[in-house]
Structures are given as structure tokens and as C-alpha cells.
């Protein structure tokens, strides 16, 4: 990565004072982005831009030692309100690059430092785009989990990390004192689901899975953390007292014995050309992974050699990260469509000329809300650069202003519901605009579609188009109407013959036996997702038992708060919901009454 063009100009034209000012302003900028990135877990520029700033700063520092900057640390994620504890050994960062030649230079440096007699072997792993944590075990017992903090001491996030399933509390045959370093992440599927829910609730969406993981780790409500479905991979070793682990492969073996989640995909490389083969092999694997990765980490295999090389204040000399520059594809934003969700939130969706990006064809991307469009001044007809956030979710990274049509005008978010025409409303403190009409056909269709969806009652054969037709014909007004459908009504719709109609009726019949949590989830109770519905099922034998409970009882359940509890009961006690529940019971849907 090179020093930017503008800087070169300053270097050429100006004397040292000007360069020094520039250098200081760069340092200030980085400091500000460090704060957004580490402390607030909400960066305002892309990782790539952030890395470019840091690389430029480092290059200038090397080139002009007289500028004498403070030496660079590893950022600081510590928050007020968290207990702080020291790491047993410092938690360092990693040197990284987007430049292939720098990887080769790293390899040459290692071989040169170790001399010809030493056999150099690397282990290559995915660089997980999550949040670094340090797990401290003493006599095999997990005593504390810390964030990186300032590298020397971090915030205690033990309780939140304990929500991770399968994280062992005790390790058999473990060394006296042990530090394991890993990466906490939110699985990509969970990330997508949570963001859909945020949109649906009219709340701000999470920028990417890593920010969500970082924000979750720093959440004080364990119930909320549990909903975030955090996961962990252990990738390296800190202090290890009382046992010698001679190589990374030995380390992996120990991790398996301790039943800890470890980075299962790795490549080995002994020769320079094997490094690139390994990196490419890992790159090909990325799209199949359930977590975001942003590069490959090369590590020297033998601990003895790692020790010889040692570390700088900032990073070990025996490891290096090659980061993948985000793939950006240009396309044209043809139209901004508006989608009305089941709670009435109007979500703008960008529709593009289809393009291939990171292995899939993309023609739509959510623009989240009106404020986002306004802030970024995204317009219909714009040429845009698409990027995949967290590698699965396509997003507009940039508008190519130079290619904006002369006659373009800012997008005007409608004042009325695009489906039923009701004036849209915005609740105080919310970014979303909602259609307030409970009978808005878009909301009715979305509610029914949710009820039959795979994650709720799982009734096959009833897709978006069929539901929309059934609604338009007046056969469906709410979810209870589903159980009044007849073969004739179904066959009145396009492309539905006798056979398909019978199949659908069969699926409907079978769905009456679905477990309580599916029914609860299907009813679209505010604040109750799939996880919440499963928790409620554990506490109540049937829907009526839940209805008879007090808000206090509900609020005391794990994962539910006071607000969710009152919202949930208020929704279930609405006369319209009550009527639907009675009709479902009459139709034979189970788990409503004892
Ligand atoms: S090894 C002393 N392996 O990336 C550092 N780190 O940007 C040794 N990371 O600090 C770290 N995946 O938090 C290692 N497979 C992997 C990793 C990994 C992600 C993180 C780690 C590191 C950061 C640097």
C-alpha cells in the first residue's frame, strides 16, 4: 500500500512543518476512527479506508523518523461501566497488508532472520472478522474473559461470552494458567435475521456482523446478548504456564481435546509458492463459511522459532495478515422500490441491473430507511459501486457522482403508504416511516406470509404470489382465514390445479399440530422472535396459560424484559388477536387451551 497522491504533493512542495501538520492531522483522523471502530463499535468509514489511513501513517513515520510520533498501540475498546482486568500477557495486533508483494517480503524477512538452517513452515488460517477476546483459565477453570482493551488490560465480558453454546467452563488436563485468544462473531445467517427484524421494528440496522458482535459483547443485558447468537473461534495462545505446546498443530490438537471451537480450515506452506496456493485455497472456501472473514493469517508453525523472532510493541514478528480488498462492482440503480412490512415499516429497496459479485447474482439491496437515502443522497438512475457487507449482504458502497445523469433529482420519500395510501407516520426517536392502517393489504399479506413461513408454522405451497391473490379475492384477511380455505378457493387462483390445492390443504391440516413456539412466532407478537417464542414455550404449556400470566411473571423470564413482556401481553389481549386465537382453536390448531 502506498502513500496517497495528495501526500506526495505535500511531500514535494512543502517543507517539514507542513508535512508535520499533515502527519498530525492524519494521526487525529485515525484516533477518531479508532474511537468509532473500537469503543463505539460503529465505524463510519470502510475497513479498507481505515486500513489505508493507518498504512499511510506508518509509511510516513518510517520515512520521516524526525516527525517523531507516539508509537502506535492497538486501539482501545475499554468502556466506562465495565470492570477492567490485566491480560496475563499483552494482546497484540497483527501487521496487515492488501499488497501481495508485502506478503513475499514478510516471508523473505522471516527466512533471512532465522537463517538458512531453520526449516520455515507456516500455517495459514482464515482471518475471522470478529472481535478479539482473551479467555483466562486457571487450573482448567474458566475464570475470566476480557476484550482486548488497550492491549494490556481489557473489559470483563465473561457473562456475555458465557452465552456462547458449547464453551467449556472446565478444561481437562489444562496447564496451570492459560490464555486462549479467539474471535467472537455473529453468524452471517443470524446477522441477516436480526437486521430484517431491526428494519421491521423501525430501528437502526447493524452495519456489519463485526459491529454487531462488538456491540453485543458490550451489552449489559445478557438476555439481549443471548438473542445475538454469539459464537467463538479460538485461534491463538497467550500465556501458557506449566505446559509446552511446541507447534500450532500441537495447539490445534489440544484445542480439540479441550472441546474448544478452533479454526478448522487451515493450510500448510513450506515454500514461498505454497503460501499463495494456500491463500487462494482459503479464499475459495470463504463463501461457504458461516462467518465473515477479511483475509488470511500466516503464522510461523513452530513456537521455538516464534520466540526467536519475538514481537514489536504492536505485533508479533512471526505472523502477518493478508487482507482481501473488497470486491466492488459497478452497476446502475434503476429504481428505488418501497416494501411495506408486517408492522407497516416502509423499507426502500434498490433495484439494480443484475451483476455478479463474490459468487452470486445481485439485483436488489436494502437501503434501510429514508434517512439513509437522504444522508447519502442516493438517486434513481445513479451509477453505484456494490460491495458485499460481511460477504453475503450486498450494499451500495459508493455513488459514482461523476456518472450521475444531468437531469437527476433527489429521491423523494413518499408521504403516503405506497400500497393503501394512508399518510405515513414516524414515531418519536424512530428512523422508520410506518403505514398506520392495520388493514393495509401489504401488512395483511406480510403477516400471513410470516405465519406460513419456514421459521413459523412452516406451511408449504403458500408463496407470496398465491397469498397476494387470495387476499385480493377476499379469501384471506387474517391468519385464521387460512384454515377456512377450500380447494375451490385455491383453484380460483392462477396456476393452482386440483393436485396443488389438495397438497396445500394437507399441509394446512398438518400445521395444526405444530409446536407452541411456532404458533407464537407465527402470530407476530411484537418483540418475540423465534428465540423468544422458544423461551415462552419452555415456561407455558399453552397459549391460554401465557395469556393468563402477569407482565411481572413474563418479565422475569430469561431473555424477556419489562417492555417486551407488556407489549407481548397487550398484543395478545387485543380484541382482534383474541378473535383470531378463538378461530384458530375452533379450526383445531393445537396448544391454544389445555
Ligand atoms: S492470530 C498476536 N489468527 O485479527 C496476534 N488472529 O487484525 C495473533 N484474528 O489480533 C493473532 N482471525 O484478533 C490470529 N485466525 C486468526 C485470526 C486472528 C482473526 C484477529 C486477531 C488479531 C486481529 C488483527
Q: For residue 442, which of 414, 468, 479, 461 has the smallest C-alpha distance?
A: 468
When mean pLDDT is compared across 9-13, 239-243, 376-380, 465-469, the lowest value belongs to 9-13
CA 279 – ligand 1 centroid, Å: 16
Res 13 pLDDT > 70: no
pLDDT at residue number 381: 97
Provide the 3-class DSSP secondary structure of residue 115. Answer: coil
CB of 341 within 6 A of ligand 1: the answer is no
CB of 179 within 6 A of ligand 1: the answer is no
Section 219-232 average pLDDT: 87
Q: For residue 122, which of 268, 254, 256, 252 has the smallest C-alpha distance?
A: 268
Distance from C-alpha of 177 to C-alpha of 513, rounded to nearest angstrom: 52
Q: Which atom of ligand 1 is nearest to the CA of 131?
A: 13
Angle 16-34/47-63 helices, nearest 10 degrees?
A: 140
Q: Which atom of ligand 1 is nearest to the CA of 92?
A: 2
* Nearest CA owner, ligand 1 atom 7: 94
Q: Which atom of ligand 1 is nearest to the CA of 236?
A: 1
Q: Cell numbers at residue 338, please?
A: 418501497
CB of 565 within 6 A of ligand 1: the answer is no
Question: What is the band of 470 on the pLDDT scale with cuts at 50, 70, 90?
Answer: very high
Contact 59, 76 (CB under 8 A): no
CA 263 – ligand 1 centroid, Å: 11
Quick: pLDDT tens for 275-304. Answer: 999 999 999 888 788 888 889 999 999 999
CA 94 – ligand 1 centroid, Å: 6
CB of 129 within 6 A of ligand 1: the answer is no
* Nearest CA owner, ligand 1 atom 11: 236
Q: What is the DSSP string of 369-425?
A: -HHHHHHHT--TT-EEEEEEETTTEEEEEEE-GGG--TT-------SB-TTT-PBPB
When mean pLDDT is compared across 24-38, 423-437, 526-540, the lowest value belongs to 24-38
Question: What is the band of 532 on the pLDDT scale with cuts at 50, 70, 90?
Answer: confident
Distance from C-alpha of 37 to C-alpha of 215, rounded to nearest angstrom: 11
Q: Which atom of ligand 1 is nearest to the CA of 91?
A: 2
pLDDT at residue number 171: 96
Distance from C-alpha of 467 to C-alpha of 475, rounded to nearest angstrom: 9
pLDDT at residue number 176: 94
**Residue 505 burial by Cβ neighbours in a 10 Å radius (0-12, 13-18, 19+):** middle
CB of 296 within 6 A of ligand 1: the answer is no
Quick: pLDDT tens for 30-88. Answer: 888 888 777 777 777 777 888 888 888 888 887 777 766 555 555 788 888 899 999 99
CATH of range 327-436; options 2.40.50.140, 3.20.20.80, 3.20.20.60, 3.30.420.40: 2.40.50.140
pLDDT at residue number 35: 80
CB of 236 within 6 A of ligand 1: the answer is yes
Q: Where in the chain is the domain with CATH 1.10.287?
A: 5-63
CB of 97 within 6 A of ligand 1: the answer is no
Angle 5-13/16-34 helices, nearest 10 degrees?
A: 150
CB of 34 within 6 A of ligand 1: the answer is no
Burial 239-254, CB ≥16 within 10 A → b, else e: bbeeeebebbeebbeb
CA 377 – ligand 1 centroid, Å: 36
Active-site residue (options: 20, 29, 63, 127): 127
For a mutational test of ligand 1's pocket, the pick from 96, 236, 298, i.e. the residue with the most ligand atoms closer than 8 A to its C-beta, is 236
For a mutational test of ligand 1's pocket, the pick from 89, 132, 185, i.e. the residue with the most ligand atoms closer than 8 A to its C-beta, is 132
pLDDT at residue number 359: 66
CA 181 – ligand 1 centroid, Å: 8
Q: Which atom of ligand 1 is nearest to the CA of 130?
A: 19
Res 204 pLDDT > 80: no
Question: What is the band of 429 on the pLDDT scale with cuts at 50, 70, 90?
Answer: confident
Q: What is the third-level CATH fold of 441-587?
A: DNA polymerase; domain 1 (1.10.150)
When mean pLDDT is compared across 148-157, 224-233, 342-351, 512-521, the lowest value belongs to 224-233
In the chain, pLDDT over 90 holds for what percent of residues?
Answer: 65
CATH of domain 5-63: 1.10.287
Contact 391, 358 (CB under 8 A): yes
Contact 385, 354 (CB under 8 A): no
CA 452 – ligand 1 centroid, Å: 42
Q: Where in the chain is the domain with CATH 3.30.470.30?
A: 84-323
Length of the chain, in residues: 594
pLDDT at residue number 266: 95
Res 337 pLDDT > 90: yes
CB of 184 within 6 A of ligand 1: the answer is no
pLDDT at residue number 235: 96
Q: pTM value?
A: 0.69
Distance from C-alpha of 245 to C-alpha of 240, rounded to nearest angstrom: 8
pLDDT at residue number 248: 96
CB of 373 within 6 A of ligand 1: the answer is no
Question: Phi and psi dihedrals of 84, rounded to 5?
Answer: -110, 140
Distance from C-alpha of 334 to C-alpha of 340, rounded to nearest angstrom: 20
CB of 282 within 6 A of ligand 1: the answer is no
CA 172 – ligand 1 centroid, Å: 25
Contact 479, 447 (CB under 8 A): yes
Contact 108, 171 (CB under 8 A): no
Quick: pLDDT tens for 100-150. Answer: 999 999 999 999 999 999 999 999 999 999 999 999 999 999 999 999 999
CATH of range 84-323; options 3.90.1150.200, 3.40.605.10, 3.30.470.30, 3.30.750.200: 3.30.470.30
pLDDT at residue number 389: 65
In the chain, pLDDT over 70 holds for what percent of residues?
Answer: 95
CB of 127 within 6 A of ligand 1: the answer is yes
CA count, 13 A, side-chain hemisphere, 84: 14
CA 1 – ligand 1 centroid, Å: 20
Distance from C-alpha of 411 to C-alpha of 579, rounded to nearest angstrom: 41
Res 489 pLDDT > 60: yes
Distance from C-alpha of 248 to C-alpha of 294, rounded to nearest angstrom: 21
Quick: pLDDT tens for 561-582. Answer: 888 899 999 999 999 999 999 9
When mean pLDDT is compared across 167-176, 322-331, 513-522, 545-554, the lowest value belongs to 322-331
Q: Which atom of ligand 1 is nearest to the CA of 311?
A: 2
Strand bridging mode 360-366 / 346-357: antiparallel
Mean pLDDT of all residues belonging to the chain: 90
Section 532-548 average pLDDT: 93
When mean pLDDT is compared across 111-115, 196-200, 443-447, 527-531, the lowest value belongs to 196-200
pLDDT at residue number 2: 47
Q: Where in the chain is the domain with CATH 1.10.150.20?
A: 441-587
CB of 92 within 6 A of ligand 1: the answer is yes
pLDDT at residue number 391: 61
Distance from C-alpha of 256 to C-alpha of 43, rounded to nearest angstrom: 35
* Nearest CA owner, ligand 1 atom 1: 236
Q: Which residue has the higher pLDDT, 162 or 53?
A: 162
CB of 183 within 6 A of ligand 1: the answer is yes
Give, for 511, the enclosing helix (H) or strand (E).
helix 498-511
Section 505-530 average pLDDT: 94
Section 166-176 average pLDDT: 93
CB of 132 within 6 A of ligand 1: the answer is yes
Separation of CA 65 from chain center:
40
pLDDT at residue number 124: 98
pLDDT at residue number 11: 58
Question: What is the band of 4 on the pLDDT scale with cuts at 50, 70, 90?
Answer: low
Q: Which atom of ligand 1 is nearest to the CA of 74?
A: 10
* Nearest CA owner, ligand 1 atom 22: 93
Q: Where in the chain is the domain with CATH 2.40.50.140?
A: 327-436
pLDDT at residue number 320: 97
CB of 297 within 6 A of ligand 1: the answer is yes
Q: Which atom of ligand 1 is nearest to the CA of 96?
A: 7
Q: Which residue has the higher pLDDT, 299 or 211?
A: 299
Is 127 one of the catalytic residues? yes
Q: Which atom of ligand 1 is nearest to the CA of 263?
A: 15
Instruction: Specify whether the backbone of 474 is left (phi greater than 0), alpha (psi in -120 to 50) or beta.
Output: left
CA 460 – ligand 1 centroid, Å: 44
Amino acid at each position: 500500500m502506498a502513500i496517497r497522491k495528495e501526500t506526495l504533493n505535500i511531500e514535494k512542495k512543502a517543507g517539514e512543518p507542513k508535512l508535520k501538520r499533515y502527519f498530525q492531522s492524519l494521526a487525529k483522523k485515525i484516533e477518531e476512527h479508532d474511537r468509532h471502530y473500537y469503543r463505539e463499535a460503529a465505524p463510519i468509514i470502510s475497513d479498507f479506508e481505515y486500513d489505508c489511513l493507518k498504512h499511510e501513517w506508518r509509511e510516513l513515520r518510517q520515512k520521516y523518523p524526525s516527525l517523531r510520533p507516539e508509537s502506535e498501540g492497538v486501539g482501545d475498546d475499554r468502556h466506562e461501566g465495565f470492570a477492567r482486568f490485566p491480560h496475563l500477557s499483552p494482546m497484540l495486533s497483527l501487521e496487515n497488508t492488501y499488497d501481495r508483494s508485502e506478503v513475499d517480503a514478510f516471508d523473505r524477512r522471516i527466512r533471512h532472520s532465522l537463517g538458512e538452517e531453520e526449516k520455515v513452515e507456516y500455517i495459514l488460517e482464515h482471518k475471522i472478522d470478529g472481535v478479539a477476546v482473551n479467555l483466562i483459565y486457571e487450573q482448567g477453570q474458566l475464570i475470566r474473559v476480557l476484550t482486548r482493551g488497550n492491549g494490556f488490560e481489557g473489559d470483563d465480558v465473561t457473562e456475555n461470552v458465557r452465552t456462547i453454546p458449547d464453551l467449556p467452563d472446565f478444561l481437562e488436563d489444562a496447564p496451570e494458567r492459560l490464555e486462549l485468544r479467539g474471535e467472537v462473531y455473529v453468524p452471517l445467517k443470524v446477522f441477516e435475521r436480526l437486521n430484517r427484524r431491526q428494519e421491521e421494528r423501525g430501528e437502526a440496522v447493524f452495519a456489519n456482523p463485526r459491529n454487531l458482535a462488538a456491540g453485543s459483547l458490550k451489552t449489559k443485558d445478557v438476555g439481549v446478548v443471548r438473542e445475538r447468537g454469539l459464537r467463538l473461534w479460538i485461534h491463538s495462545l497467550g500465556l501458557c504456564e506449566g505446559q509446552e505446546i511446541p507447534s500450532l498443530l500441537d495447539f490445534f490438537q489440544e484445542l480439540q481435546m479441550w472441546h474448544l471451537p478452533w479454526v478448522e480450515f487451515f493450510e500448510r506452506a513450506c515454500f514461498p509458492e505454497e503460501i499463495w496456493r494456500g491463500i487462494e485455497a482459503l479464499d475459495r472456501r470463504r463463501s461457504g463459511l458461516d462467518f465473515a472473514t477479511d483475509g488470511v493469517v500466516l503464522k510461523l508453525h513452530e513456537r521455538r522459532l516464534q520466540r526467536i523472532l519475538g514481537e514489536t510493541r504492536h505485533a508479533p514478528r512471526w505472523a502477518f495478515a493478508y487482507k482481501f480488498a473488497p470486491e466492488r462492482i459497478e452497476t446502475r440503480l434503476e429504481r428505488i422500490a418501497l416494501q411495506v412490512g408486517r408492522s407497516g415499516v416502509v423499507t426502500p429497496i434498490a433495484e439494480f441491473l443484475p451483476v455478479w459479485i463474490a459468487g452470486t447474482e445481485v439485483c436488489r439491496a436494502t437501503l434501510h430507511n429514508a434517512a439513509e437515502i437522504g444522508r447519502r443522497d442516493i438517486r434513481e438512475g445513479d451509477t453505484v459501486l456494490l460491495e458485499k457487507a460481511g460477504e453475503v449482504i450486498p450494499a451500495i458502497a459508493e455513488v459514482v457522482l461523476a456518472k450521475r445523469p444531468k437531469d437527476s433529482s433527489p429521491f423523494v420519500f413518499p408521504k403516503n403508504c405506497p400500497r393503501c395510501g394512508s399518510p405515513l407516520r414516524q414515531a418519536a426517536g424512530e428512523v422508520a416511516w410506518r403505514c398506520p392502517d392495520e388493514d393495509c393489504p401489504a401488512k395483511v399479506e406480510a403477516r400471513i406470509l410470516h405465519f406460513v413461513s419456514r421459521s413459523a408454522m412452516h406451511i408449504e405451497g403458500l408463496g407470496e404470489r398465491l397469498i397476494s391473490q387470495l387476499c385480493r379475492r377476499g379469501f384471506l384477511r387474517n391468519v385464521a382465514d387460512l384454515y377456512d380455505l377450500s380447494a375451490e378457493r385455491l383453484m380460483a387462483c392462477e396456476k393452482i390445479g386440483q393436485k396443488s390445492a389438495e397438497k396445500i390443504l394437507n399441509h394446512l391440516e398438518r400445521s395444526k399440530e405444530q409446536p407452541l413456539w411456532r404458533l407464537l412466532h407465527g402470530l407476530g407478537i411484537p418483540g418475540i422472535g423465534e428465540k423468544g417464542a422458544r423461551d415462552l414455550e419452555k415456561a407455558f404449556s399453552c397459549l391460554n396459560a401465557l395469556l393468563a400470566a402477569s407482565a411481572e411473571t413474563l418479565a422475569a423470564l430469561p431473555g424477556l424484559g419489562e417492555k417486551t413482556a407488556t407489549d407481548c401481553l397487550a398484543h395478545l389481549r387485543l380484541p382482534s388477536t383474541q378473535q383470531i386465537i378463538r378461530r384458530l382453536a375452533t379450526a383445531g390448531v393445537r396448544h391454544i387451551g389445555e
